[in-house]
């Protein structure tokens, strides 16, 4: 069973707060939602958090409308900084 994965331009993950009582999936449309999932511990464990953060950066790039490489790099740098600040422990 996958804990976190890419699904047609979105990041999907299992809400680990709800386990073992219920299997609930979270759909993240942007990197901000992934950051929230990390902060609130909907996703837990260093490997899963690392994958979620990497997919969040991919999500930021996928939805970017940056007009240049420099602008894209600036967007991704801001997303990475936001994600870095989410570490729950």
In a domain, 54, yes or no: yes
In a domain, 73, yes or no: yes
Distances in Å between the Cα of 68 and the Cα atoms of 9, 44, 60, 64 are: 21, 35, 15, 10
In a domain, 89, yes or no: no
The CATH number of residue 28's host domain is: 1.20.120.420
In a domain, 56, yes or no: yes
Could you tell me the pTM of the whole model? 0.92
The string of pLDDT tens digits covering residues 31-77 is: 999 999 999 999 999 999 999 999 999 999 999 999 999 999 999 99
60: containing domain: 4-84
In a domain, 50, yes or no: yes
Look at the chain and report how many structural domains it folds into.
1
In a domain, 22, yes or no: yes
The string of pLDDT tens digits covering residues 5-22 is: 999 999 999 999 999 999
């Amino acid at each position: 069973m996958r804990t976190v994965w890419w699904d047609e331009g979105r990041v999907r993950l299992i809400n680990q707060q709800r386990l073992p009582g219920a299997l609930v999936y979270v759909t993240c449309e942007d990197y901000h939602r992934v950051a929230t999932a990390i902060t609130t511990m909907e996703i837990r464990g260093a490997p899963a958090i690392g994958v979620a953060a990497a997919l969040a950066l991919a999500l930021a790039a996928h939805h970017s409308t940056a007009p240049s490489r420099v602008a894209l790099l600036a967007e991704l740098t801001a997303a990475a900084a936001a994600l870095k600040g989410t570490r729950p422990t």
